[in-house]
Amino acid sequence: NPIAAAGLMKEAEIFWQLRGEAGARQVPGNPKRGLAQAWGDLMQVGTVVVMGI
């Protein structure tokens, strides 16, 4: 399911950013929090994930 995979990749990107493992995509500074938002099922399902260290 590519819709679910897209949402999961957003969460993975936050994880890598918070750990400083995002390589060339790494945001400057030392991020402490991240937020991912995704829609699915023709915009019938919405999810927001907040991560922090």
pLDDT tens, residue by residue, 1-39: 576 688 889 999 999 999 999 999 999 999 999 999 988
CA 27 – CA 17 distance, rounded (Å): 7
Q: Over the Cα atoms of the chain, what is R_g?
A: 12
Q: Distances from the Cα of 22 to the Cαs of 12, 26, 41, 43, 45, in angstroms?
A: 10, 5, 29, 29, 28
pLDDT tens, residue by residue, 9-19: 999 999 999 99
Domain boundaries along the sequence of the chain? 2-52
Q: Which helix (H) or strand (E) holds 33?
A: strand 33-40
| Max Cα distance, the chain (Å) | 36
